[in-house]
Amino acid sequence: MKQFFQSNLLLIAMLLLPGLMLGQRTVSGTVTDADNGDPLIGVNVVVMGAESTGAITDFDGKFSVNVPEGFEKLLFTYTGFADQEVAIDGRSTIDVQLTSGIDIEEVIVIGYGTVKKEDKTGSVDVVNSEDFNTGAISGPQDLLTGKVAGVNISTTSGEPGRGAQIRIRGGTSFSASNEPLFVVDGVPFSNDGNPGSRNPLNFMNPNDIESVTVLKDASATAIYGSRAANGVIIITTKKGVAGAKPSINYDGYFSTRILTSELTNLNAEQFRNFVTFADPSRLESLGTANTDWYDEMTESAMGHSHSLSLTGGAANMGYRVSLGYQKFDGVVTPASNENVNLGFSLNQNMFDDRLKMNLNYKGGYTRDVFDPGLIWAAWTFDPTQPVLDPENTDFGGYFEHGVSLAPRNPVSAANQIESFGKSFRNLASFDAQYEIIDGLSVKINYGVDYNSGGFRKFEPTTYLNTQISDRNGNIFIQDYVRSSQLVEITGNYNKTIGEQHDIGLLAGYSWQDFRFDEPQLTAFDLATDIFGFDNIGVADEFDARTFSSRNRLISFFGRANYAFANRYLVTVSLRADGSTRFGDENKWGIFPSAAVAWKILEEPFAAGLTNIFSDLKLRVGYGKIGNQEIGDFGYLPTYQLSDGMTQFQFGDEFVTTARPNAYDANLKWEETTNYNIGLDFGFANGRVNGSIEYYFKDTKDLLATVPVPAGTNLSDRVLTNIGQIQNQGIELTLSTIVLDIKDLRWDVNANAAWNKNEVKAISSITSSGILTGGISGGVGNNVQIIQVGQPINSFYLFEHLLDGSGNPLADGIDHNDDGSVDLADMYADLNGDGMVNEEDRRAYKKPTPDLLLGFSSNVSYKEFDLSFTLRGGIGGYVYDNNASSRGYFNHLSLNPAYNNNIHASALVTNFQDPQFFSDYYLQNGSFMRLENISLGYNVPNIGDRTLRLYVSGQNLFVLTNYTGIDPEVENGIDQTPFPRTKGIIFGVSLGL
């Protein structure tokens, strides 16, 4: 049934067409400039409620539009002029005069309300649906990549369905979350990862989203208090329009994706030559095959997406229903991502619009098939060995080295291991707002977020892991249920006093309860070699446990807005949050904010500036915000049950024990103080608009898991408040309408953001710094540090000495002729003590870029449109762990029973042993990426229907000097990532 629906979605939509072809009438007229009476060319005329139906004025300012039956309003929009709604009232001819100036009535969503765009006092950016990125969108975060200054959205993996790392104005925490708070249709929800899905946002259909608002400074975010330290992203979904006739829209595309780069490994011939040179004694252990393991595991990946929506309304009521399905395969088999999304919204006004009610639901089912650790095996496995060994029935006919530490045959793992996650998420909300008297209203908001799913992994008897452990197959099952409930009550009062004073007051109460349950079950020795999960009941050994958690947030908040003479604006807010994640002494946090704005053009002395500027506003803001995303029970003494590997033997029995966990009874909020100053400007009747901002963020009581002296706690590491960090930066946003004539319009948007990050203090127990940045290779090796005076997570490495050709000095050679071979033969003595040791490692460079850049262009000519987005980062560095973990000669012979392939860099460095802490592996990761490009064609002359055909490209190129696979990697450490891809998409949008 599902396959029939997927294959015939477009046909079903087309069959509905005859019933939607209702009567229509023609309305024509002329649009002129209200100031001088000149005709306006290229004015957009749209039928409200049927936005796909419209026209554009000609050289004489004339228009003619077919208005479907039941629609009674036209919307006139033109760059540099205020939008105007006009009621048709049975007329066939309508002449309109537009007033120059920006659209002062445009409103943007902020915390617990809206504000006119011209009246905003904080740092707020909005990306609307018409400006979203196009292409294979896996979640809301992909829609605004590169669109907002100071917002770094980086998808560090090419794994299908994988989420993105989002940083707003730099990270503010060591160990707590650095992700922003997401609010969907008024409901703040948890964006924690879970075992069943790699992307907590992919339960939503991107086609359901109307706008995304980013709150960046504390004056805008402090109304969310304890969860706003990393910014707030407000997602508003599409709604139905009261009185609109039903309309159906279908959006679908098919995509194909290929790898963006190749692996720097040795092929079979190169590997044989290397073994001949490096260790001829191992030649007999080589095979006779020529296997490209990476090629065996990768292939072109196909994908498709379909979205169908029904929108309409009746008297005082609007509705929208949507259904979406998408399936993406990964370039590494067997990885894939599959989503089914359902959306519903209903809005109803009653009692002369005094009562307004909204019901919203967004649900999604996600199934991810994971790569079971194959990429490392593909890079390391001996290329002279075959994929298959038919005589080896113990391993299912696949070649395996057959020893525990050897890399697994990646093809065997791909075909035999079953590893997948599933997630079913429901986000529903209902709000009702009643206007008691003019200007005074009360609103109740109730929301539920229910997320359930799990992770499954099965290893059959014929897989190497079970063979070497002498087991009959393994099953791992991890389920979870995460849920939250929200109840909010807010009151709003808005009043204009005389002609000079505008007052807005907000007061509210919020209660949100979070619950988390995670049962786990591991089954060994299934007593059968039948493939699948149905045999868990016949397992000989089980290890079962359940983890449960609960926390609650209770809040009181208020906000006051005051405007004098539409010239001076003041916003003050205060929130008090009480969280069960902290002890009695630190349970409550107080988060104030204040902001002022000055509309300079409203001053009498600025009358002469209106010939130059269309907007000129100065904004200053201050606020305190917090971060409570640290997990639960860190302040309480808790106990952990032992598992099957850590039980205590008592006679012939193994007893499950309970051991205490480390805790800090004095845990308290991370608190960020934020200052912001901004200037909004506009030129040429609004054809050029922009802003420039400076911000400063000071975060204290930073939480980190740090080592503690033996005997002072119940573990050698504990989560505690230990430090201070500062971020400061400058952001520039510019949007221009380069051309806007009869058939041609060209918009250009650009943004740039510079950020400086510095650790200002660390507590005495870790005064020398906190090692972080774990890498592959060895045990417990770290290549980054949190150190006072340095950017957070700075790389912590030796300075490698170079020869005359610029290559690093190789190990095992007495380069300095002192009669011994030691670290001084390769690394610089930076502290000048005459020896090279751990004290000569230095904090050097950082993973985050100094400068983030975004550039987008949109051109439309008649029925054609062309858009693209470029995104870049300058000044960030990347540690190539792929090279450091395999780029040395002795990696070949780590075990006498098998050969390991090596990274090609070993042929340049001639390293015999690993040099994990060498800055040779640190490279400049600056890049510029073509995020997407799209060419579309709107089919003309099909009545009130719309049909757009388009082709898009994603990640078609990246300009960089980084020699690894991709310069965008998590936390600046490049270690066996799922390879990034570039893709081509063919799509269609149909409106009926």
Beta-carbon contacts of 437 under 8 Å, excluding residues fewer than 6 positions away, are none
User: Tens digit of pLDDT for each residue in 501-511?
Assistant: 999 999 999 99
Question: Average pLDDT of 282-299?
Answer: 91
Please give the angle made by the CA atoms of 756, 570 and 508, to the nearest 5 degrees.
Answer: 95
- 3-state DSSP assignment of residue 604: helix
Determine the Cα–Cα distance for residues 380 and 892; give it in Å rounded to an integer.
Answer: 9
Mean pLDDT for all residues in the chain = 85
Give 774-828 as a DSSP string: E-SSSSS-EEEEE-TTS-TTEEEEB-B-B-TTSPBPPTTS-TT-SSS-SGGGTB-
In three-state form (DSSP H/G/I as H, E/B as E, the rest C), the secondary structure along 120-186 is CCCCEEEEEHHHCCCCCCCCHHHHHCCCCCCEEEECCCCCCCCCCEEEECCCCCCCCCCCCEEEECC
Q: What is the pLDDT of residue 100?
A: 65
What H or E segment, with its residue span, contains residue 620? strand 613-627
pLDDT confidence of residue 780: 86
Identify the three-state secondary structure at position 585: helix
Amino acid at 620: V
Instruction: Quote the pLDDT of residue 3.
Output: 42
Helix (H) or strand (E) holding 582: none
Token output for 616: 């000129």
For 211, other C-beta atoms within 10 Å of its C-beta total 20
Q: How far is CA 328 from CA 302, 619, 698, in A?
A: 6, 45, 42
Considering only CA atoms, which of 703, 925, 943, 867 is closest in space to residue 173? 703
Where residue 23 falls among pLDDT bands split at 50, 70, 90?
A: low
Comparing C-alpha atoms, which of 676, 680, 660, 646 is closest to residue 108?
A: 680
pLDDT > 60? residue 532: no
Lowest mean pLDDT among 32-41, 389-398, 561-570, 882-891: 32-41
Averaged pLDDT for residues 894-901: 90
Query: CA distances (Å), 672 to each of 702, 846, 897, 913, in order?
Result: 9, 22, 55, 45
Distance CA 985, CA 264 (A): 29
Q: Is the dihedral of CA 279, 281, 285, 290 positive or negative?
A: positive
pLDDT confidence bin for 766, thresholds 50/70/90: low
Q: How far apart are CA 135 and CA 958, in angstroms?
A: 17
Distance of CA 191 to the CA centre of its chain: 10
Inter-residue long-range contacts of 897-900, CB under 8 Å, 24+ positions, other chains counted: 897/401, 897/402, 897/403, 897/406, 898/285, 898/382, 898/401, 898/403, 898/406, 898/407, 899/275, 899/282, 899/285, 899/286, 899/382, 899/384, 900/380, 900/382, 900/407
| Closest listed residue to residue 185, CA positions, set 53, 420, 358 | 358
Of the candidates 500, 521, 656, 508, the one whose C-alpha atom is nearest the C-alpha of residue 575 is 508
Per-residue CA distances from 487 to 340, 435, 582, 659, 660 (Å): 28, 19, 22, 38, 36
Pairing of strands 864-874, 851-861: antiparallel
**Contact 762/722 with Cβ under 8 angstroms?**
yes
Confirm if 148 and 751 have CB atoms less than 8 A apart: yes
Residue 491 has pLDDT above 70, yes or no: yes
pLDDT digits (tens, 9 = 90+) for 782-809: 999 999 999 999 999 999 999 988 999 9
880 and 927 Cβ atoms separated by less than 8 Å: no
Strand partners, 58: none
Enter the DSSP assignment of 886: H
Q: Contact at 8 Å (CB) between 320 and 362? A: no
Residue 99's nearest CA partner among 30, 37, 28, 47 is 37
For residue 104, what pLDDT is reported? Answer: 43
Q: What is the pTM of this model?
A: 0.85
Q: What is the pLDDT of residue 19?
A: 37
In whole angstroms, give the CA distance from residue 251 to residue 210.
15
> What letter does residue 914 receive in the DSSP assignment?
-
Q: Tell me, what DSSP letter sits at residue 632?
A: S
Over 80: is that where the pLDDT of 162 sits? Answer: no
For residue 601, the one-letter residue type is L
Query: How would you label 432-466 residue by residue, b for 16+ Cβ within 10 Å and e otherwise?
Result: bbebeeeeebebebbbbbbbbbbbbbbbbbbbbbb
Helix (H) or strand (E) run with residue 465 in it? helix 464-468
Evaluate if residue 343 carries a pLDDT over 80: yes
Structure tokens at 720: 């505690």
Does residue 18 have a pLDDT over 50? no
Q: Look at residue 725 and tell me whether its pLDDT is greater than 90.
A: yes
% the chain with pLDDT above 70: 88
Q: With beta carbons less than 8 A apart as the criterion, state whether 294 and 381 touch.
A: no
Backbone angles phi, psi at 294, to 5 degrees: -65, -40
Number of continuous H segments (helices) and E segments (strands) in the chain: 10, 50
How far is residue 662's CA from residue 447's CA, in Å, rounded to a whole number?
Answer: 35
End-to-end CA distance of the chain: 25
Cα separation, 301 vs 296, in Å, equals 14
Q: Which residue in 16, 61, 7 sits closest to 36, CA to CA?
A: 61
Is 474 in a helix, a strand, or coil? strand
| Band of residue 327 on the pLDDT scale cut at 50, 70, 90 | very high
Site of tokens 């420039």: 692
CB-CB neighbours of 105 under 10 Å: 11
Vertex 872, ends 870 and 878: CA angle to 5°?
145
Say what the pLDDT of residue 666 is: 80
Q: Are 371 and 335 in contact (CB under 8 A)?
A: yes
* Helix/strand/coil (H/E/C) assignment for every residue in 524-563: ECCCCCCCCCCCHHHCCEEEEEEEEEEEEEEEEEEEEEEE
Comparison of pLDDT for 756 and 374, the residue scoring more: 756
Question: Which tokens go with 415?
Answer: 């075909």
382-439 confidence digits (pLDDT tens): 999 999 998 888 888 999 988 878 888 999 988 888 888 888 999 999 999 999 999 9
Taking residue 750's Cβ as centre, other Cβ atoms within 10 Å add up to 18
Q: How far apart are CA 678 and CA 693, in angstroms?
A: 4
Are 879 and 973 spatial neighbours (Cβ–Cβ below 8 Å)? yes
Does the pLDDT at position 852 exceed 90?
A: yes
How high is the pLDDT of residue 21? 40
Greatest CA separation for the chain: 101
Question: What b/e string do you get for 828-848 counting C-beta neighbours within 10 Å, with b at 16 or more?
Answer: bbeeeeeebeeebbbbbbbbb
* Percent of the chain with pLDDT strictly greater than 90: 47
Asked if pLDDT for residue 1 goes beyond 70, the answer is no
Distance in angstroms (rounded) separating the CA atoms of residues 955 and 301: 15
- What is the rounded average pLDDT of the residues 642-663? 65
3-state class (DSSP) for residue 670:
strand
Q: From 123, 217, 31, 272, select the one nearest 691 (Cα to Cα).
A: 123
